[in-house]
Amino acid sequence: MIDINFLKSNPEAVKENIRKKFQDHKLPMVDKVIELDDSRRAIIKKVEGLKAERNKISSANGKNYGMLKKATDEAEKARIQAEIEANNAKVKANADEVAALDAELEKLEAEIREIMLKIPNIIDPSVPIGPDDTYNVEIERFGEPVVPDFEVPYHTEIMARFSGIDLDSARRVAGNGFYYLQGDIARLHSAILSYARDFMIDRGFTYCVPPYMIRGSIVDGVMSFAEMDAMMYKIQDEDLYLIGTSEHSMIGKFVDQMINESQLPQTLTSYSPCFRKEKGAHGIEERGVYRIHQFEKQEMIVICKPEDSDYWYDQLWKNTVDFFRSLDIPVRTLGCCSGDLADLKVKSLDVEAWSPRQKKYFEVGSCSNLGDAQARRLRIRVNGEKGKYFAHTLNNTVVAPPRMLIAFLENNMRADGTVAIPEPLRMYMGGKTELK
């Protein structure tokens, strides 16, 4: 959510930003917000005038009560009493008018907020312009992508060779989009998460395990309604949602907080299971455990000063690149175009891992700078030397198995069917150097 004062001072800039997001249907919202806010300010001014008038009448009545006590003439007493009653009637009418205006004001503010939540954040000048993810731009590659001279099976076939996956039982128990991992594959899954946890701790991040459910007000604060509808599972008859990523509850941790500037940046890494609807049909390459309703993830979250958010954005995506390269997985970074950005994001970068079987890269993480959009929605403020201001929030995926297992198994598989275990994972795998 952008600053309404910025919108009113720069309506054409906001409209141009909407056009760059290919959301022209939202253009009338800018003028509507300005109109509503003008009405809101007029009501506030009128209420202030009425309250000043009420104070003046009340003050006059205070004097009248004093005069009434001193008066000895009955006619004079009657005159003063009549004036007191008339003033009381004016105060009552004034209060009724203020109450009606307050109700109108509350309605206006709710309407303004509803529209402002739909107007996209101002994107960074570095963001490529395009309507959808086909316009995303490759930035850099890390590691040499290799296509082996032997056939790499589909990832569930690799897992099945190690008796490591049971999709049929999962379908009977929970339906499509769920899985059982077992044996060495399940152990590898946990090892990757444990390594990711320690990797981020070694980089100075504080490890957290957050709530796995959040209230609706937090959902509204961290994402758009369109995202929520496509992603979140709601608990029936409860104001609770299952998180789609720990970013949601980790940013929510700071709701309504005034943070001392000396406490910034807050650098946190969190583990959680994640639950997603994953609405819509997906292609054949998204079978197996590629796109599922339940998975686990290690996340990075930063709360910082506005002038530091670009620095932390670069640090976050580099952490993911370094993590994957430490496991011998080639990756590339991809700048997300304007039409592929969620409305709250200033800019976003995907990290994609190399798939030897598909001979292409696929997404394994996403790094986002949201500016002060989430902080403004959740009222996360900073008390600084030069005054109070909204913090900036950023997030990035460290790793999200079991999807990451696809990249790991394909890139570490050998011709004889064994899978090499890179040195960083061996301590979490009981010293094993390979899966046989």
Q: What is the pLDDT of residue 409?
A: 96
Spatial separation of the C-alpha atoms in residues 273 and 298, rounded to whole Å: 9
- pLDDT-derived band of residue 84, with 50, 70 and 90 as boundaries? confident
How confident is the model over 334-348, as pLDDT tens digits? 999 999 999 999 999
Spatial separation of the C-alpha atoms in residues 112 and 122, rounded to whole Å: 18
Torsion of CA 341, 343, 346, 347, to 10 degrees: -10
Spatial separation of the C-alpha atoms in residues 207 and 297, rounded to whole Å: 13
How confident is the model over 240-283, as pLDDT tens digits? 999 999 999 999 999 999 999 999 999 999 999 999 987 654 54
- pLDDT-derived band of residue 86, with 50, 70 and 90 as boundaries? confident
DSSP assignment of 313-369 equals HHHHHHHHHHHHHTTT--EEEEEPPGGGS-TT-SEEEEEEEEETTTTEEEEEEEEEE
Crossing angle between the packed helical segments 27-70 and 74-116, to the nearest 10 degrees: 160
Spatial separation of the C-alpha atoms in residues 188 and 157, rounded to whole Å: 16
3-state secondary structure of 144: coil
Domains in the chain, ordered, with CATH? Answer: 4-116 (1.10.287.40), 133-435 (3.30.930.10)
Q: What is the pLDDT of residue 174?
A: 92
Pairing of strands 266-275, 387-390: unpaired
Tokens of 85: 């009653």
How confident is the model over 51-76, as pLDDT tens digits? 898 888 888 878 877 877 787 777 87
Q: What is the pLDDT of residue 279?
A: 61
- pLDDT-derived band of residue 33, with 50, 70 and 90 as boundaries? very high
In this structure, are residues 358 and 364 in contact, taking their beta carbons and an 8 Å threshold? no
Please, which residues bridge with residue 260 across strands? 383
Q: Please give the model's pTM, rounded to 2 decimal places.
A: 0.88
